[in-house]
Structure formats: C-alpha cells, structure tokens
Amino acid sequence: MTHHELIEAIALSCLADIAVDEGRPKDAVSMLKESHRILRDLNDLLLIPAGVCRLARALAHAGRAATAARVLSGSTVLLEEIGARPPWLAKLNEGTLAVISAQLDEAAFAEAWEQGRALTADEAVALALDSFD
C-alpha cells in the first residue's frame, strides 16, 4: 500500500460527501465502497469507521433511516473502541441523526440503534450496499 492510496480513499470520501449534498446518495455509496476497500487494506482504524458514518449519512438522505441508524450505531461502537471523537465527525453524525430522526419514531430508532451496535465495519458496509441493490 502506498501513500497515494490513502489520498485516493480520502478523495473518494470527500466526493461522496459532495454527491450526498447534491442529492445523489446512491453515487456516494459506490465511492464509499471503494474507499472502504482501500482503508481496510491500509487498516486505518479512524478512517474506516468515518467511512461507515458517511455511508449512514448517504442511507439517511436516501430515505433508508432504519438501515442508516444501524450503520451509524455500528460505526459509533468502532470509534468508541479506539477512543476517537473527532469534532468534524461528530458534526457529520449530528446531521445524519437529524435526518434519521425526521424519518423514524423513537422506538424504531432505539431498536435499529441497538441492532447496529453488534456490526463490524465490513458488516455495516455490506448492510448499506445491500439496501441500495
């Protein structure tokens, strides 16, 4: 793995954010899938769960709130495990939670959140990809 691959993964994540902002969450998911593959190969313990958070955001903006809540919950556990709380990611997740909350009632959210806590990063990515197929 090279430094160039890390830059590629980060660029794909940024392009995915733009795609979501432009109302193209499905396009974002394909970019985040490739970014995740690279980051997994690099074993980047911070950027892997950050990418999973971005997938949750894409899902929420695509109207798949329950899946988004599960995916976001899984990424939160991964971040807790490494003790990471980057402010930029907290801000991204707040926005995602607002979109999810507009679509799910409290009970449905709580159930989805609890289900997501057991997901690994790869399982969260697979769940996100399956929901777009």
The number of folded domains in the chain is 1
Give residue-wise pLDDT tens across range 10-58. 999 999 999 999 999 999 999 999 999 999 999 999 999 999 999 999 9
Residue 5: band (very low, low, confident or very high) from pLDDT cuts 50, 70, 90: very high
pTM over 0.85: yes
CATH of the domain at 16: 1.25.40
Domain that holds residue 31: 3-132
Cα 47 to Cα 110: distance, rounded to the nearest angstrom: 26
Give residue-wise pLDDT tens across range 107-116. 999 999 999 9
Cα 103 to Cα 66: distance, rounded to the nearest angstrom: 8
Q: Helical H runs in the chain?
A: 3-21, 25-42, 47-61, 65-82, 87-103, 106-116, 121-132
CB burial readout 95-120, b (16+ within 10 A) else e: ebbebbeeebeeeebeebbebbeebe
